[in-house]
């Protein structure tokens, strides 16, 4: 069957070509005239795998930004090294606006964890998503409020086990932050990902879990977990009956976030067009609907305000992470 051979081989080679092109496209970045920006495809580097929450936020935003910019935005997932590989790659690209990237909260954490990642290597365009931390316990847990949990930890510091998504993760940092702010100590138990951490709490293997709101709110709705507090400055629609930690007297606001940045040193005009496209995309109904449906909180923070926020976050993690180790 020679025709079959050709067809099958052809199909496989076409697939190879697609994968190769998808992987290799857009290495560009010569000195294009900033005035006609953008005159070709833009690459958006996501430092995490396709299919995750960061990837969803980045892809949804990218498809909206295409409308304003009039060019295709190609999402490139450069994974590895807890996100540092993609972030370092982004920092090393030419600052011409043809390579932009998704900046997660890890951008301000990795530098204090032995990776060469520095938030100062990026020009910030805007923040589009916020993932407040939440603390939740199994439904049969004796702890009914955040205060119950803190009191139990005070009585016997280090005896309350709290699962999180991994060593050095934002949720482990949140656990340390909760301990420090309440003057006691929780025992963080790092798992290999957010889902196993939540499972451990549902199965009662740990006393509590600290995870993002999108991971705990569905479990609360189903009656598998009881969320005790949300570490944000305002309550969330997806957890209507849950108070913020501040409302319960514990002043902790912490969580994951995601924004868009570019290699430092963008030409003014380019930065302005990116900011404009960003604001339109992050404010679009399609973007806010998809992010809300996925359980996280869409925001639309402009560049200047985002830069201030990143600076304060950097200070916070410098203190939190150097204390921890």
Stretch of 146-154, 190-198, 244-252, 271-279 lying at the interface with other proteins (CB under 8 A): 190-198
Q: Is 219 an interacting residue with respect to other proteins (CB under 8 A)?
A: yes
Q: Which of residues 273-292 bind other proteins (CB under 8 A)?
A: 290
Stretch of 95-103, 123-131, 219-227, 272-280 lying at the interface with other proteins (CB under 8 A): 219-227
HEC per residue, the chain: CHHHHHHHHHHHHHHHHHHHHHHHCCCCCCCCCHHHCCCCCEEEEECCCCCCHHHHHHHHHHHHHHHHHCCCEEEEECCCHHHHHHHHHHHCCCCCCCEEEEEECHHHHHHHHCCCCCHHHEEEEEEEEEEEEEEEEECCCCCCCHHHHHHHHHHCCCCCEEEECCCCCHHHHHHHHHHHHCCCCCEEEECCCHHHHHHHHHCCCCCEEEEEHHHHHHHHHCCCEEEEEEECCCCCCCCCCCCECHHHCCCCCCEEEEEEEEECCCCHHHHHHHHHHHHHHHHCHHHHHHHHHCCCEEEEEEHHHHHHHHHHHHHHHHHHHHHHC
Stretch of 112-120, 231-239, 276-284, 302-310 lying at the interface with other proteins (CB under 8 A): 112-120
Is 211:164 a contact under the CB 8 Å cutoff?
A: yes
Q: What is the per-residue binding string for other proteins in 288-317, x denoting contact by CB under 8 A?
A: --x--xxx----------------------
Q: Which of residues 15-34 bind other proteins (CB under 8 A)?
A: 15-16, 19-20, 22-23
Q: Is 157 an interacting residue with respect to other proteins (CB under 8 A)?
A: no
Least distance to other proteins from the beta carbon of 115, Å? Answer: 6
5 vs 30, beta carbon nearer other proteins: 5
Least distance to other proteins from the beta carbon of 226, Å? Answer: 15
Q: Is 265 an interacting residue with respect to other proteins (CB under 8 A)?
A: no
110 vs 245, beta carbon nearer other proteins: 110
Q: Is 320 an interacting residue with respect to other proteins (CB under 8 A)?
A: no
Cα-based torsion angle of the residue sequence 94, 99, 103, 108 in order, rounded to the nearest 10 degrees: 0
87 vs 310, beta carbon nearer other proteins: 87
Q: Which of residues 49-88 bind other proteins (CB under 8 A)?
A: 49-53, 55-56, 59, 76-82, 84-85, 88
Q: Is 116 an interacting residue with respect to other proteins (CB under 8 A)?
A: yes
Q: In sequence order, what are the beta bridge partners of 302?
A: 126
116 vs 154, beta carbon nearer other proteins: 116
Neighbours of 10 (CB within 10 A): 10
Footprint on this chain of other proteins (rule: CB under 8 A): 1-2, 4-5, 7-9, 11-12, 15-16, 19-20, 22-23, 49-53, 55-56, 59, 76-82, 84-85, 88, 113-116, 161, 166-168, 187, 189-193, 195-196, 198-200, 202-203, 205-206, 214, 218-219, 221-224, 290, 293-295
């Amino acid at each position: 069957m020679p025709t079959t051979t050709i067809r099958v081989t052809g199909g496989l080679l076409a697939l190879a070509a697609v994968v190769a092109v998808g992987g290799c496209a857009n290495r560009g970045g010569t000195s294009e005239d900033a005035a006609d920006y953008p005159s070709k495809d833009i690459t958006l580097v996501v430092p995490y795998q396709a299919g995750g929450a960061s990837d969803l936020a980045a892809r949804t935003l990218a498809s909206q930004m295409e409308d304003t910019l009039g060019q295709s935005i190609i999402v490139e997932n450069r994974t590895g090294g807890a996100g540092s590989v993609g972030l370092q790659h982004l920092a090393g690209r030419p600052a011409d606006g043809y390579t932009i990237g998704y900046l997660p909260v890890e951008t301000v954490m990795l530098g204090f964890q032995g990776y060469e990642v520095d938030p100062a290597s990026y020009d910030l365009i805007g923040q589009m998503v916020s993932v407040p931390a939440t603390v939740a316990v199994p439904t049969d847990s004796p702890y009914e409020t955040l205060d119950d949990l803190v009191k139990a930890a005070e009585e016997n510091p280090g005896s309350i086990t709290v699962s999180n998504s991994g060593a050095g993760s934002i949720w482990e940092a949140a656990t340390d932050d909760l301990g420090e702010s309440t003057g006691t100590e929780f025992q963080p138990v790092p798992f290999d990902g957010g889902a196993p951490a939540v499972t451990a709490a549902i199965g009662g293997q740990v006393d509590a879990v600290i995870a993002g709101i999108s991971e705990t709110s569905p479990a609360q709705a189903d009656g598998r977990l009881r969320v005790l507090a949300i570490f944000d400055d305002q309550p969330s629609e997806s957890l209507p009956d849950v108070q913020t930690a501040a409302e319960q007297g514990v002043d902790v606001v912490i969580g994951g976030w995601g924004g868009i940045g570019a290699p430092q040193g963008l030409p003014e005009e380019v930065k302005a067009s990116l900011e404009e496209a960003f604001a339109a995309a992050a404010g679009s109904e399609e973007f806010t609907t998809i992010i809300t449906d996925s359980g996280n909180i869409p925001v639309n923070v402009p560049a200047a305000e985002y830069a201030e926020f990143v600076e304060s976050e950097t200070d916070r993690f410098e203190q939190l992470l150097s204390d921890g180790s």
